[in-house]
Amino acid sequence: MQSPDFLDVRELVGISKRIGSSDKDDSQRYTRWLTPLIQHAVKDFGTPRTDALDVALDRLAQDHPNFDTVIGWVEAELGFAKAAGHGLDFQRILLVGPAGTGKTTFCLELAKVLGLPAEVVAMNNRQTHAFLGGSEAYWGNTQPGAVFKLLAHSPVINPILVLDEIDKTSSYHGYDPLASLYTLLERRTAEQFADASFPEVHINAAHINWIATANDIGELSTPLRSRFNVFEIRPLHEDEMAELVGRMYGRLLDEHPAVRTLMEPVLPEAVVGELVAVLESGRDVDRLLRMMVGRALSNDGQITSAMIPEMKHERASTRMGFV
Amino acid sequence: MNMHDVATPLTPEDHARAKREMQMRGLPLPDESADIDELIRTAMETDKTDDDATAAVPTLREQLEWHRQMTHDAYEALERRVAGLEQGVRARERQPGKGKTSDDKRDGDSMHGWSDRKLVKAREAVIGALLEGGERFEQMLPAHIQYYGSYALDYPSEDQGIEKPDFIVYDALPEVLRHAFMERFPPVASLIRDEGSTPLSLARFDDWQAFARTFA
């Protein structure tokens, strides 16, 4: 598989002289950002489809049953990519659903399973597009945006960029914080992307995999919405949650054999029922179970329903925002 | 030639030998703590009308002779030392890659050994030269190699047209630059490093300069 072109080295030879700036900060900025860009300029695709990846995706689907259509989509795209001779490429996925359905958690776990570098960009309250496409070079404190930063350090050409809560941006004095996306979500224009902070340098951003999350896409413009494949994410059903809790308890013990010998092999049904009643999503099941097991180890390995509100109280007091 | 065989500076052993010779000849030993200034001062203070001057003259003469001999020995030893150093410099200049300019020396010193760790540093320096462009890019000193230390050059085929062993180390170039260069100028030689280290690929420096000029 031939490496896709990422940048034209001719653009970079002598660039620090061509920009003609005598500003020391400017020179340091060029060295700081263009050095990793050159070091990682030859990139291959990450994540060719393998049997091990299929197994990992199946497990991800079990843990996130409400994302089964998304995982099915990704599996199909991986199958296509394998036949075409590259990795997962230029996905534009928009996950829409109520808060607490585990959208962001799922994005990170998907990136981990795929073995791709990922960056989460919180979109809430963004007022300009600089966070994504960089600030203009004439500003003294100009900085490259998330796309440039991610690609400058990524060893693969197809990392994942998560745009979290894309529906929460707000325009400011006519600036559209999503303006850069129109360019970046079209393959032809993304192939010649130039960060506003380094307008002379063009990089190929046409292989980034995009995943955006939103609670409501009613306010998103039609051109932007049309660039995404939209997936509606529903909350977990009670039976799905119960199954998830039981499975994650078993996995926790499997991963820690020394703990398994001290604990009951199966979570009591009453405890599962109580947990399902208090959990809004599956994202914190693992952490909650770990805490409960820790407590149970001081109680001869017995987990009781009474531990659940106790746990909730402790987490609330540490301001971790649980439930 | 071992320079220590031809040019040895004066040592404490030389002083001990001279001391033994003077004792064997029955000559009075000069106070070893007294230097020539002391000898001059003594000679100046001795009144020529004084009766003691008769006895002092032979002693001063012997001390003067001893210092003359020691100075002469030191001069000859120093002369031999300088001659040996000159000989070594001339011999090194006759060997390829040993007559370096100060810039070459700077980069050559920093890259001594061409270990993998040094290669990483060289790549960073190459990127600096790339961003600056111009002469610094054409000279590409961080990747330029003329001195091979204890390593060996290996020419994979006979007809490489190598007239002088003046190379660019491919492995010191960042991958994107290496690819572009290699498309036009394939490697012509290898540098065989220590056991366990992979050989480095080399390109003619002339080829590099031709390639670099296309970016002007």
Beta strand A209-214 with B152-154 is unpaired
Check whether A135 has a pLDDT greater than 90. Answer: no
Instruction: Tell me the CATH number at A106.
Output: 3.40.50.300
Is some CB atom of chain A closer than 8 A to the CB atom of B128?
A: yes
Please identify, among A201, A232, A263, the residue that sits at the C-terminal boundary of a domain.
Answer: A232
Q: How confident is the model at residue A2 (pLDDT cuts 50, 70, 90)?
A: low
Across the interface, do B175 and A18 touch by the CB < 8 Å criterion?
A: no
Are the C-beta atoms of residues B80 and B1 closer than 8 Å to each other? no
The least confident of A42-51, A97-106, A232-241, B6-15 is B6-15
Domain final residue, candidates A210, A232, A254: A232
Q: Residue A291 above 70 pLDDT? A: yes
Residues A88 and A220 in one domain: yes
What local confidence, expressed as pLDDT, does residue A156 receive? 96
Least confident of A195-209, A225-239, A285-299: A285-299
Give the gap in angstroms from C-alpha A189 to the nearest C-alpha of chain B. Answer: 22
Instruction: With H, G, I as helix, E, B as strand and everything else as coil, classify residue A7.
Output: strand
Mean pLDDT for A80-104 is: 93
Q: Which pLDDT belongs to residue B86?
A: 65
Whole-number percent of chain A with pLDDT over 70: 92
Same domain, A221 and A141: yes
Look at residue A19 and tell me if it is in a domain: no
Predicted local distance difference test score (pLDDT) of residue B89: 65
Asked if B79 has any chain A CB less than 8 Å from its own CB, the reply is no
Q: What are the boundaries of each domain within chain B?
A: 3-94, 102-213
In a domain, A149, yes or no: yes
Please check the confidence at residue A312 and state whether its pLDDT lies above 70: no
- Report how far Cα A301 is from the mean position of its chain's Cα atoms: 36
Tally of structural domains, chain A: 2
- Residue B101's pLDDT is what? 43
Task: Give the pLDDT confidence score for residue A319 in this predicted structure.
Answer: 40
- Cβ contact B167:B206 at 8 Å: no
- Nearest CB to B131; choose among A7, A10, A34: A34
Of B123, B175, B215, the CB nearest to A13: B215
On whether residue A29 sits in a domain, the answer given is no
Query: What are B192-214's pLDDT values in tens digits?
Result: 887 778 889 999 999 999 999 99
Structure confidence by residue, pLDDT tens digits, A58-78:
999 998 999 999 999 999 999
Most confidently modeled of A179-183, A313-317, B34-38?
A: A179-183
In a domain, A85, yes or no: yes
The whole domain housing A80 covers 51-232
Answer yes or no: is A18 within a domain. Answer: no
Distance separating the N- and C-terminal Cα atoms of chain B:
47
Residues of chain A found within 8 Å of residue B215, distances taken between Cβ atoms = 10, 13-14
Tens-place pLDDT, residues A257-283: 999 999 999 999 999 998 888 887 777
Among residues A232, A256, A272, the one where a domain terminates is A232
**Is A47 a residue whose pLDDT tops 50?**
yes
| Residue A110 shares a structural domain with residue A243 | no
B133/A14 touch (CB, cutoff 8 Å), yes or no: yes
Do A69 and A179 share a domain, yes or no?
yes
pLDDT at position A187: 95
Q: For residue A197, what are the CA distances in angstroms to A29, A127, A145, A160, A200?
A: 10, 18, 8, 22, 9
Q: Which of B124, B131, B176 sits opposite A42 (nearest CB)?
A: B176
Q: Is residue A17 part of a domain?
A: no
Mutation target for A interface from B124, B131, B132: give the one with most A CBs within 10 A. B131
Residues from chain A that touch B131, judged by Cβ atoms under 8 A, are: 12-16, 30-31, 34-35
The C-alpha of B73 sits at a distance from chain A's nearest C-alpha, in angstroms, of: 58
Of the listed ranges A42-51, A121-130, A175-184, the least confidently predicted one is: A121-130
Instruction: Please indicate, yes or no, whether residues A221 and A257 belong to a single structural domain of this protein.
Output: no
Cβ-nearest to A17 among B128, B132, B180: B132
pLDDT-flagged residues of chain B (< 70): 1-39, 46-52, 69-70, 72-113, 156-161
On average, the pLDDT of chain A sits at: 88
User: Which of the two residues, A249 and B45, has the higher pLDDT score?
Assistant: A249
**pLDDT tens-digit series, residues A101-110:** 889 989 999 9
Please, where are the H alpha helices in B95-197?
Answer: 102-110, 116-132, 134-139, 175-184
ipTM above 0.85, yes or no: no
What confidence score (pLDDT) does residue A192 get?
96
Q: Give which of A321, A222, A219, A319 is closest to A280, Cα–Cα.
A: A321
Q: Are residues A216 and A284 in the same domain?
A: no
User: Hey, what are B129's tokens?
Assistant: 């030269």
Please report whether residue A26 resides in a domain. no
Query: A17 and B176 in contact by Cβ < 8 A?
Result: no
